[in-house]
Structure 1
Amino acid sequence: MQVAPVLSLVQRNFYALLQKDHYGLTRMIEKRAAQRYRVFKGGKITFENSRITCTVRNMSADGAAIDLDALVTLPQSFTLAIARDNFVRKCRPVWRSDRRIGLAFVQ
């Protein structure tokens, strides 16, 4: 008798997002309101008297994902700036995975 594995809530949510297309290939279902675009840009996070450099990995109209060089505790709200694009937005962290952080832009 084979026992079915017990999946965590995170694993069940992940597998629920997988869908087979008509070629039989499995792909993720995108649930974001705005499509994100891959980028590779230098940015700066600023809050209080702190400045932290980061790498912006993807962006949309609603948010971005950034990589940090070190593990840093961020406040609930801060500013992301990309100097070469003249881009400045207030944002808040939404998720974190090691040194990558998902941001939502605050209106």
Structure 2
Amino acid sequence: MEEKRKYPRTEIDEPAYVSAGGSVMSCVIRNISEEGAAIDIENPAFVPARFRLVMAKGASVRECQIAWIQHKRIGITFVAVPQE
């Protein structure tokens, strides 16, 4: 299969949190690149189209949107936040 991503993904196994609308759900980041990631989450149906991904290590926060869902794995793209 041909790789179509601009940036290579790094395989990781890092706990994180999906935060949206006052609710927080735990997830695991399976791989990550400069422009997106794949996460595993127990109930993908409860994840909104746009949300914040809070990484447990380093406490970084990224604005995200869903690119695809397969079973309990969600592919996400990082959304650029306008600088004020």
TM-score by length of 1: 0.70
Paired with 2:43 and 2:63, the residues of 1 have a C-alpha distance of 21
Q: Which runs of 5+ in 1 are unaligned?
A: 1-27
The structure with the greater share of residues assigned to helix is 1
Counterparts in 2 of 1:71 and 1:91: CA distance versus 1, 3 Å: closer
Identity %: 35
Paired with 1:96 and 1:60, the residues of 2 have a C-alpha distance of 18
The structure with the greater share of residues assigned to strand is 2
RMSD: 1.1
Q: Which runs of 5+ in 2 are unaligned?
A: none
- Which segments of structure 1 move beyond 4 Å, counting only runs of 4 or more? none
1:47 aligns with 2:20: yes
Structure with the bigger RCO (C-alpha within 8 Å, sep 6+) is 2
SS of residue paired to 2:46: coil
Which of the numbers 43, 55, 70 marks the counterpart of 1:97?
A: 70
